[in-house]
Amino acid sequence: MLHIYGTLLSSPTNKVRYVANYLEIPYEFHSMNLAASEQHKPEFLKINPLGKVPAINDHGFTLAESNAIIRYLANKQQSPLYPQDLQQRALVDQWLDYASMHIMMALSKIAFNTYFYKMINTPIDERSLQDGHKFIASYLPHLESQLTSTPFIAGKTITLADIALLAALDTAEVCHVDLSSFSHLTAWRKKLMGEKFYRDCHESFTTVFKKIVAQREAKTS
């Protein structure tokens, strides 16, 4: 069986779970307690020596890095989520990078300096927080523009790019990033959030996020 290691608050982890759900791959999810440094225990370091999540163990084959994992899963299933056509695949790769390097990175800066800094007793990085808001404001219009011309981010059908972007945007509400002015983006997102592959993980990432953060803050107060 496929084993997925990660945490419910991790957008990269959820990206892997969404893809596995979409492909209907049975898996066992291992929720890692990062605050307790479970990712640094010897048994996990055998799976990912870098001590980071997500990671997978697929019948003895171990792999880390979320984009590599979802490409592997789609390739293994020979799924059109990752097209065989060279140019179509290149477009998917382009938007995978955009989702990870721009959207997720910007929102991660905001999320860290809004919530997670408290968990590791470090001060807020105001410059990073400002950069996160500045970057996400400049990146979102490109997504809206793309979705005015195609129903999905890389073309006419859903691909890994859509699932990666969906996961990257999961933290928008908890980061207080208003998407309502981007009508095509919000319609696209609403549709995908209603799909079984998403709802098999959670009805709302925001609800899960706030519940877990509140529980952790209560323990430290």
pLDDT tens for 49-100 read 999 999 999 999 999 999 999 999 999 999 999 999 999 999 999 999 999 9
Radius of gyration of the chain (CA): 17
Q: Do 61 and 15 reside in the same domain of the chain?
A: yes
Which of 41, 76, 111 corresponds to the end of one domain? 76
Residues 100 and 193 in one domain: yes
Beta bridge partners of 6: 31
Domain boundary among 76, 96, 119: 76
Q: Compute CA distances 77 → 68, 70, 198, whole Å.
A: 14, 11, 19
Q: What is the pLDDT of residue 35?
A: 81
Our measurement of the distance from residue 167's CA atom to the centroid of its chain's CA atoms, rounded to an integer in Å, reads: 4
Contact assessment for residue 170 and residue 205, using Cβ atoms and an 8 Å cutoff: yes
159: alpha, beta or left? (left if phi > 0; alpha if psi -120 to 50): beta
71 is a domain residue: yes
- What is the model's pLDDT at position 214? 82
| Span 117-147, pLDDT tens digits | 887 788 999 999 999 999 999 999 999 999 9
- Closest alpha carbon to 213 in 104, 116, 112, 108: 116
Q: What is the pLDDT of residue 119?
A: 76
CATH number at residue 61: 3.40.30.10
How high is the pLDDT of residue 127? 97
Contacts for 142 with CB less than 8 Å, ≥ 6 apart: 98
Last residue of a domain, one of 76, 107, 132: 76
Same domain, 135 and 52: no
- Could you read off the pLDDT of 6-58 as tens digits, one per residue? 999 999 999 999 999 999 999 999 999 988 899 999 999 999 999 999 999 99
Pair 204, 95 in one domain: yes
Containing H/E element for 29? strand 27-31
For residue 221, being part of any structural domain is answered with no
Same domain, residue pair 107 and 182: yes
**Of 182, 147, 172, nearest in space to 162 by CA:** 147
Note the pLDDT of residue 39: 96
Strand arrangement of the beta sheet that strand 55-58 belongs to: 27-31, 2-6, 55-58, 61-64
Mean pLDDT, the chain, rounded, equals: 95
Total number of domains constituting the chain: 2
199 shares a domain with 145:
yes
Same domain, 110 and 149: yes
Please give the residue range of the domain that contains residue 148. 86-216
Instruction: Decide which of 210 and 160 is more confident.
Output: 160
